[in-house]
């Protein structure tokens, strides 16, 4: 979306997901580009998994928003966006400064001296599966400012009152549901485009921890009491992924006032930081999410070079690399004749951590290519890649 000079749009209950700038030589603003002298107002929006790409230029800024204007942003979430060069979430050009307050921004935000910025994981349910609702424990629950909600000028709930505060979210769920256990604090709107319904928790979870043994994760949790608890589904999010995948289940104790202890083990985990959460299932099928907990799995080999994905590829692939000792490496793409086509990385890698590299194939001819990670002394790994048109 481009907000031209002089424009003043108001964006409410909006989701920006998985947008990507395709201009190979500029490509600023993965979701929104604000031109000079524009002043959009953005309220209760969610920006997630937007990206920029400008490998051959100095542009590629503002994974969620590139700003040269004067936008006002309230009650909004910026999470898991990426930029090729600067500003994974928001990039302010020159003297411009987006007025962002009472919002969640991954990595924080300080331009314009905001009063209330959250930076923790918003615990969005399953973005890649189309579920952008907040789950239990999200810092975005009951964190917004009610006064920032505009009037219901379009009468979204069809009650004939267009002067009331906006009553619905993007899905039609009523706004301002109280998910705060304290009876002393008033209900507040959630951050983002989706409002979580008021929840009744059938299980009182007192602890949930994770430990690592080589390539295995050991999960343990304890409940103080349970009501109609059918059991727990264990869900896993691998490094550099935004989707949760079920990996197993544990039967619950039904209804009990006695403490219960549970454990679960999963094996053959790839190196990197893994997240696990519990989806508690009631006997009537309703669910409640707990967690996540995160564990760091080390590297069993000196270097890691994952298979490119997707493969075959048409326009763009990603590949994961790692160095157990944090050594300097080069990641280079060669054609079938052994000619260097593209250098994806040249430098050190964080010890024991997985890094995701983007491989653009827009300008490559169809055929077979070879991706090689080259470490000190020529050691390394090689993967093949097929480009199709």
Task: Dump pLDDT digits (tens) for 204-253.
Answer: 889 999 999 877 899 999 998 887 899 999 999 988 787 899 999 999 99
Note the CATH number of domain 203-297: 2.70.50.50
Q: Which residues of 275-299 are buried (b: 16+ CB within 10 A; e: fewer)?
A: bbbbbbbbeeeeebbbbbbebebeb
Specify the DSSP class assigned to residue 191.
Answer: S
Q: Examine the pLDDT at 172 and tell me if it is beyond 80.
A: yes
Q: CA-CA distance, 44 to 119, in Å (whole number)? A: 16
Whether the pLDDT of residue 199 is over 70: the answer is no
For the chain, the average pLDDT equals 88
Checking if the pLDDT of 9 tops 50, the result is yes
Quick one: which of 260, 199, 210, 208 has its CA closest to 231?
260
Residue 270: predicted pLDDT: 79
Average pLDDT over every residue of 248-273: 89
Higher model confidence: residue 273 or residue 66?
Answer: 66
pLDDT, residue 370, reads: 95
Q: Can you give the pLDDT at residue 374?
A: 93
Percent of the chain's residues with pLDDT above 70? 95
CB 21 within 8 A of CB 51: yes
The better pLDDT of the pair 167, 26 is held by: 167
Residue 190 confidence (pLDDT): 94
How much is the pLDDT for 263?
A: 96
Q: Tell me what pLDDT residue 307 has.
A: 87
Mean pLDDT within 124-137:
85
Domain boundaries along the sequence of the chain: 1-199, 203-297, 303-387
| Per-residue confidence (pLDDT) for residue 46, from 0 to 100 | 98
| 8 A C-beta contact, residue 203 and residue 250 | no
The closest alpha carbon to 196, from 170, 229, 216, 234, belongs to: 170
**Which pLDDT band holds residue 54 (cuts at 50, 70, 90)?**
low
Q: What share of the chain is helix, strand, coil (3-state, %, to 5)?
A: 0, 50, 50
The confidence score (pLDDT) of residue 200 equals: 45
CATH C-level class of 303-387 = mainly beta
Cβ pair 356, 345 in contact under 8 A: no
Condensed to tens digits (0 to 9), the pLDDT of residues 57-115 reads: 567 889 999 999 999 999 999 999 998 888 999 999 999 999 999 999 999 998 877 78
What does the pLDDT read at residue 184? Answer: 54
Band (pLDDT 50/70/90 cuts) for residue 16 is very high
At residue 182 the predicted structure's pLDDT band, cuts being 50, 70 and 90, is very low
Give residues with Cβ within 8 angstroms of 308, minimum separation 6. Answer: 317, 318, 319, 359, 371, 383, 385
Nearest-10 Cα torsion for 344, 348, 349, 350: -150
**Residue 337 pLDDT exceeds 60:** yes
Q: Give the rounded percent of residues in the chain with a pLDDT score beyond 90.
A: 52
Q: What is the pLDDT of residue 245?
A: 92
With a CB cutoff of 8 Å and minimum separation 6, the contacts of 231 are 249, 250, 251, 252, 280, 281
For residue 130, is pLDDT > 70? yes
What is residue 282's predicted lDDT score, i.e. its pLDDT?
A: 85
């Amino acid at each position: 979306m481009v907000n031209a000079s002089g424009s003043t749009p108001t964006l409410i209950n909006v989701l920006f997901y998985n947008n990507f700038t395709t201009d190979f030589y500029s490509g600023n603003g993965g979701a929104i580009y604000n031109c000079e002298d524009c002043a959009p107002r953005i309220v209760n929006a969610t920006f997630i998994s937007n990206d920029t790409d400008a490998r051959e230029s100095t542009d590629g800024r503002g994974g969620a928003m590139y700003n040269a204007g004067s936008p006002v942003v309230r009650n909004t979430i910026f999470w898991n966006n990426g930029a090729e060069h600067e500003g994974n979430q928001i990039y302010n050009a020159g003297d411009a400064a987006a007025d962002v307050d009472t919002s969640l921004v991954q990595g924080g935000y300080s331009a314009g001296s905001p009063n209330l910025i959250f930076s923790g994981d918003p615990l969005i349910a399953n973005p890649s599966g189309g579920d952008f609702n907040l789950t239990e424990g999200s810092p975005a629950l009951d964190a917004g400012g009610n006064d920032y909600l505009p009037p219901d000028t379009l009468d979204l709930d069809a009650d004939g009152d267009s002067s009331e505060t906006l009553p619905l979210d993007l899905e039609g769920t009523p706004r301002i549901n109280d998910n705060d256990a304290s009876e002393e604090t008033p209900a507040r709107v959630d951050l983002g485009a989706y409002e979580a319904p008021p929840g009744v928790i059938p299980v009182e979870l007192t602890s949930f921890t994770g430990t690592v043994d080589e390539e295995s994760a050991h999960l343990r949790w304890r409940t103080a009491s349970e009501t109609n608890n059918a059991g727990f589904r264990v869900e896993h999010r691998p490094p550099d992924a935004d989707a949760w995948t079920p990996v197993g289940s544990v039967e619950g104790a039904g209804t009990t006032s006695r403490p219960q202890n549970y454990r679960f083990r999963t094996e053959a985990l790839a190196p990197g930081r893994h997240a696990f959460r519990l989806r508690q299932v009631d006997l009537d099928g309703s669910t409640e999410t707990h967690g996540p907990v995160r564990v760091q799995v080390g590297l069993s080999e000196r270097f890691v070079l994952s298979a490119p994905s997707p493969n075959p590829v048409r326009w763009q692939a990603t590949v994961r690399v790692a160095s157990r000792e944090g050594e300097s490496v080069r990641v280079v793409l060669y054609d079938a004749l052994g000619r260097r086509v593209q250098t994806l990385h040249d430098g050190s890698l964080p010890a024991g951590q997985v890094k995701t590299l983007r491989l653009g194939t827009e300008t490559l001819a169809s055929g077979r290519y070879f991706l090689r990670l080259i470490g000190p002394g020529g050691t390394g790994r090689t993967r093949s890649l097929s480009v199709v048109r």
